Amino acid sequence: MAKTVLVTGGCGFIGVNFVRLLLRERQDWRVINLDKLTYAGNLQSLADVSSHPNYSFVKGDICDAALLATLFREQQIDTVAHFAAESHVDRSITGPAEFIQTNVVGTFTLLEAAKKHWSGKSEGCRFLHVSTDEVFGSLGATGFFTEETAYDPRSPYSASKASSDHLARAYFHTYGLPVLITNCSNNYGPYQFPEKLIPLILNNGLHGRPLPVYGDGGNIRDWLYVQDHCEAIVRVIEQGRLGESYNIGGHNEKTNLHVVQLLCDLLDQKAAPLPSGQPRRSLISFVKDRLGHDRRYAIDAGKVAEKLDWLPKVTFEQGIAKTVDWYLANRDWTASVTDGSYQQYYQNMYGDRA
Ligand code: NAD
Ligand code: TYD
């Protein structure tokens, strides 16, 4: 069915992959990408599709109610795929204010805009709010997050996302807004900003720089290839039950140290050797732990498998090899997004931690 989709944050990591998927696989959907172009958003990530007839870009802030009202009215938006957020836990620890503004106030502003515009005519409309498994807190050695797990966010980032989930759910129950929520585990793949673990390790490993592993490296994340995540979101938009949430995960629990060592080995195989002749594992540097560092995340994705027949297609081994190949082939992209402001951030983060 034809749709007009407002993708917020479409110039960020997952948004870029999602926009590309829609333009490829949903040819009767019009895609309007609204992005503020923060440090994490890059227009060049979509340069090759920017003149696609179904695609348009609007630079703007999801906190701007007037802009949202105009967009909903003029573009007759019937579907929202809401990715825009401040997304990095470490930044939320050093500067939480932006997280409250974009993730909480921004989501509220977007919900209000959809409510006003769809009032009395929301049949067929969908508001898909993209969230994280981090809202559920931290697991011990066993167990999984299900859709029934109580919220227990522990970082300013996850608290802001939990808050936005609650608002989205409240708009369904109170106003009947056609809301759907997805809570996803850690994504990896092309176009991820190199402040997150996997692209940061690849970027540093290529340049022979130290590879910072927080604490003992034993924290566990449950990795999902970004393409699989984007396909799940389309499935939830098309077939999800209104008012419900779906956990999306890849069944790939790995310790951080395992991931870092694997990336070192893949770089040694695929890239030029270090000038020192040392294997890249020699660059691993255990640094001071993240404050309040969640120990383990693991998703039970049984509901989305059973109800919506979605399963991840890409194994961790396939996905990580594709990711390494992409970063090796796209060094210009990494160089251009890690500009001066990132260099300063990196220095502040790690300057005194190694
Ligand atoms: P990202 O940080 O790579 O991209 C965020 C995008 O949002 C950027 O393009 C940025 O410019 C834009 N943005 C930020 N503030 C904005 C504002 N006020 N108005 C308009 N645009 C704004 O994030 P990502 O990794 O692509 O994550 C996308 C969504 O998925 C987020 O909501 C995040 O919480 C969620 N999520 C991410 C992961 C993950 O592993 N990356 C896992 C689960 C859920
Ligand atoms: P990250 O990619 O920031 O995602 P999240 O915090 O949302 O899970 O971090 C993934 C894991 O890797 C997390 O346990 C923190 C750890 N980590 C490091 O050990 N070193 C790093 O340089 C970074 C960025 C993260």
Ligand 2 test: best mutation among 13, 197, 290, 297, most atoms within 8 Å of CB?
Answer: 197
Angle between helices 197-206 and 316-329 (to 10 degrees): 50
For the whole model, what pTM was predicted? Answer: 0.97
Whether 300 is in the pocket of ligand 1, judged by its Cβ within 6 Å, is no
3-state secondary structure of 130: strand
Q: Which domains does the chain have, with CATH numbers?
A: 4-187+224-251+297-313 (3.40.50.720)
Residue 338 φ/ψ, nearest 5 degrees: -95, 70
Per-residue exposure over 147-176, b if at least 16 CB sit within 10 Å of its own CB, e if not: eebeeebbbbbbbbbbbbbebbbebbeebe
State in Å: Cα 159 to ligand 1 middle.
Answer: 15
- Which residues contact residue 98 at a Cβ distance below 8 angstroms, ignoring those fewer than 6 apart? 86, 91
Contact predicate 285/205, CB 8 Å: no
| Shortest-distance Cα residue to atom 43 of ligand 1 | 132
| Shortest-distance Cα residue to atom 15 of ligand 1 | 85
Tell me the H-state helices in the chain.
13-25, 65-75, 89-94, 97-99, 107-118, 156-175, 197-206, 226-239, 256-270, 302-308, 316-329, 331-337, 340-350
Whether 202 is in the pocket of ligand 2, judged by its Cβ within 6 Å, is no
Distance CA 21, CA 349 (A): 34
pLDDT tens track of the chain, all 354 residues?
899 999 999 999 999 999 999 999 999 999 999 999 999 999 999 999 999 999 999 999 999 999 999 999 999 999 999 999 999 999 999 999 999 999 999 999 999 999 999 999 999 999 999 999 999 999 999 999 999 999 999 999 999 999 999 999 999 999 999 999 999 999 999 999 999 999 999 999 999 999 999 999 999 999 999 999 999 999 999 999 999 999 999 999 999 999 999 999 999 999 999 999 999 999 999 999 999 999 999 999 999 999 999 999 999 999 999 999 999 999 999 999 987 777 777 777 777 554
What percent of the chain has pLDDT above 70?
99
Distance CA 201, CA 151 (A): 31
Ligand 1 atom nearest to CA at 106 = 18
Please report where in the chains the tokens 């029934």 appear, as a residue. 148
Whether 189 is in the pocket of ligand 1, judged by its Cβ within 6 Å, is no
Ligand 2 atom nearest to CA at 90 = 3
3-state secondary structure of 25: helix
Assign residue 221 a region (left: φ > 0; alpha: ψ between -120 and 50; beta: otherwise).
Answer: beta
